A = this chain, B = another copy of it.
Amino acid sequence: MIPVEEARARILDVLVPTGAETVPLAEAWGRILAAPVPARLTQPPADVSAMDGYALRAADGAPGAGLTVIGSAPAGHPFAGSIGPCQAVRIFTGGLLPDGADAILLQEDATAEGDRVTVNEAVQPARWIRRRGLDFTAGDTLLEAGRKLTARDVGLAAAGNHPWLSVHRRPRIAILATGDEIVLPGEPLPPGGIVSSNAHALSALVRAAGAEPMVLPIAGDSEDAIAQAAAAARGADLLVTTGGASVGEHDLVQQALGPQGFALDFWKIAMRPGKPLIWGRLGQTPLLGLPGNPVSALVCGVLFLCPAIARLAGLPPAPLPFQPAVLGADLPANDRREDYLRASVQRDAGGRLVVTPAPRQDSSMLRILAGSDALLKRAPLAAALPAGSLVEVLLLQDFGV
């Protein structure tokens, strides 16, 4: 049994990001940039007004002064001429500052009549003018490679004049559920049969992590069935198996895949839930074997599959997003396996997380996991802890899971 951290490191160590593909800006939200995005223009392209009002020479902006309005400069319609002494141009937010102007008279500080305008409040030079390049200058790097694009980033890339972006291809994750006892939801259920839930939960987890799931047909507990199903996964970036525990899952998967070129790295980790975790390679395809119990499969999915997908997807290396939390109940001492307790969290008045483990932690109880907010980490051999102690949690919503 190897430690959890070492297992994760060995998984991440051999994975490489997918290549780049070109996507339209409108499809880029949530994708991972494969190349930096430079500004292709300067924004604003010239000095512009930040308000509606009048462009003028600051020297002409004393209270009581009267000016002749010689034209207008709405956004998108620059004024072609130049402003001279005692002249003004009607201007609107985003309008280019006309030649000769160096100040803005706010419309609420002015009285207009025909082509004349009277200054009611003294103008300040440069006030209400947005200088050329205030937001960015052509050539600036607006967004770095490896960034997961937010809605704001999409807006910024648009403003930088990019109709297309280069992003990492979504990793393709094949999911193979094994087990004589499982059937697809809605299919006829034989005696002793169980409806397959892991493949569908993991498929959703794969989507949440930004990858493309490919759910393979269920393979029964025979070497032939497993070998045949796994062959379908050779084009995937990662093959995830789950289940087969009824006949000693590691043995069966290894026995079935050995002749197909399976090379094992490790298959037991010091963790609860989820001791049996397979990591290896089927030909060119990395293979992650998850336990068959639904809770074990999903918890191992969060701890190993999500980071694996992040690596494949081109995100920069990052530790798991553990957060400190205050324990809401006493905890007993832990044994030698790192434990991940299903727990609910609340925030206290000061914004601190308070975490309370679910009273039952059986790894078959999917309903308790679905109703939980967090996984509470217990180190191997951790001592008993009283309520109020500080512990570490992973919030499931941080994984979209």
Contacts and interface: CB of A to CB of B under 8 A. Distances in A.
Nearest to A397: B150
Interface stretch (A56-64, A81-89, A111-119, A199-207): A199-207
Interface stretch (A4-12, A176-184, A254-262, A308-316): A176-184
Given A92-B245, A142-B367, A196-B158, A41 B189 contact: yes
A76 B180 contact: yes
A231 interface: no
A25 interface: yes
Contacts of A215: 26
A151 interface: yes
A94 B194 contact: yes
Contact of A135 (B186, B349, B367): B367
Given A152-B366, A201-B151, A201-B152, A247 B92 contact: yes
A247 B74 contact: yes
A162 B185 contact: yes
Given A163-B185, A367-B156, A130 B350 contact: no
14 contacts: A29-B207, A30-B207, A75-B245, A76-B181, A77-B192, A92-B245, A94-B245, A130-B364, A151-B202, A151-B298, A155-B202, A158-B185, A161-B186, A325-B351
Interface residues of A, number: 102
Contacts of A149: 204
A30 B193 CA distance: 28
A353 interface: yes
A161 B364 contact: no
Interface stretch (A44-52, A280-288, A329-337): A44-52
Given A155-B370, A396-B150, A76 B182 contact: yes
A303 interface: no
Given A52-B248, A155-B200, 12 more contacts: A44-B194, A75-B192, A75-B194, A75-B245, A76-B179, A76-B180, A92-B247, A149-B204, A151-B207, A152-B401, A156-B367, A159-B197
A190 to B, nearest CB: 8
Interface string A20-62: 0000011011100000000001011110001010000000000
A75 B180 contact: yes
A179 B75 contact: yes
A134 B364 contact: yes
A329 B180 CA distance: 62
Interface string A355-370: 0000000101111011
